[in-house]
Amino acid sequence: MAEEGDLLVVLLDLALLSEEGVGAGGQAVAPADVLAQLLAFANAYTMLSSHNRLAVYAGSHDMCQLVHLGLGEGSSGSVFPAASLHAKLGELVRKAEGGHEPGANGTAPHPAGGGRVQPFALSGALSRALCLIHRLQQQAAARGRVRCCPRLLVLQGSRDGSAQYIPVMNSIFSAQRAQVVIDAVVLAPEDSSFLQQAANLTGGLYFRPPRGPGGLLGLLLAHFVTDTATRAQMDAEQSLGVDFRASCFCHKYVIETGFVCSVCLSIFCQPCRACTTCGTAFGAGGGPHRGGAGAAGHGAAHATEDGAG
């Protein structure tokens, strides 16, 4: 069977290219430098093999758009994706400026809440990327190609949005089921619990370089330019701790101890009379299952295994 190249889908948080997002890391790195490094990585990945396929989604707190899709050898277009990627990002900015006034659609164009960058719409980006991967895999199978091991690389510059807990976890479980590896490079001031769990569950790599995005390209070239099979033989350090804390389903708070529905495993931060997810009525004695310390965390871990199965 013919060889099918590696497939990499990059989810780019546009906060990385904003003054607030880059500055949040405590490093004085211009957004243009970060963009140049990302374009250089895109070129390098495509140049590594003519079969390599690269897709890039760019998104922010309220949108996610496919800005590049290169299908490797045989497809039209330039060998180097940087020009196309740059042009599409420019088009995205022009559309945003021309079609929507700042603040339109009820969205806040600027960081709200004490200068903090709005969280990246990770759940939507993951869903779209998984759909794209599924489609490309189906097409490759129809052409009789060997199935490759697709990857998702999330470049995130903002914090997690706890409100997205359920869809993000569902997307992660879907990726795990579809054998899609999720890698993450987080350039925000704090670790991303979502992406730590995503990398942990799907066998991906998670990095949060303490020096910020200054040497981003070095990191990308060292660990993310090769396919997963090659990467398994390489030397990469992964931090041992993964933040498995869950968000409650009722208020989206990140909690360490909570109450778990014994029927659907929904997590709540306080006792309630009935599960808001499955409608199970609990007894008068309190919650359906009074968890001890770390109960919610364990609940999330169990849910992970269930999703894998």
Residues in 46-105 at the binding interface with other proteins, rule: CB under 8 A: 60-71, 73-77, 80, 82-93, 95-97, 99-100, 102-105
Task: Give residues with Cβ within 8 angstroms of 108, minimum separation 6.
Answer: 118
Q: Which stretch binds other proteins (CB under 8 A): 106-114, 160-168, 192-200, 263-271?
A: 106-114
Other Cβ atoms less than 10 A from the Cβ of 159: the count is 21
Shortest reach from residue 55's CB to other proteins, in Å: 10
Binding marks (x or -) toward other proteins, 7..36, rule CB under 8 A? -------xx-xxxxxx-------xxxxxxx
Q: Which is nearer to other proteins, 81 or 291 (CB)?
A: 81
State which of positions 141-180 bind other proteins (CB under 8 A). 143, 158
One-letter amino acid of 141: A
Residue 214: exposed, middle, or buried by beta-carbon count in 10 A (0-12, 13-18, 19+)?
middle
- Where in 211-230 is the site for other proteins (CB under 8 A)? 211, 214-219, 222-223
Smaller CB separation from other proteins, 221 or 250: 221
Q: Is 107 in the site for other proteins (CB under 8 A)?
A: yes
How many chain residues bind other proteins (CB under 8 A)? 95
| Least Cβ distance, residue 175 to other proteins (angstroms) | 16
d(CA 32, CA 39): 10
Shortest CB 305 distance to other proteins, Å: 22
Residue with smaller CB distance to other proteins, 36 or 254: 36
Chosen residue from 109, 167, 189, 294 binding other proteins by CB under 8 A? 109
Q: Which 287-306 residues touch other proteins, going by CB under 8 A?
A: none
One-letter amino acid at 25 equals G
Distance CA 79, CA 48 (A): 11
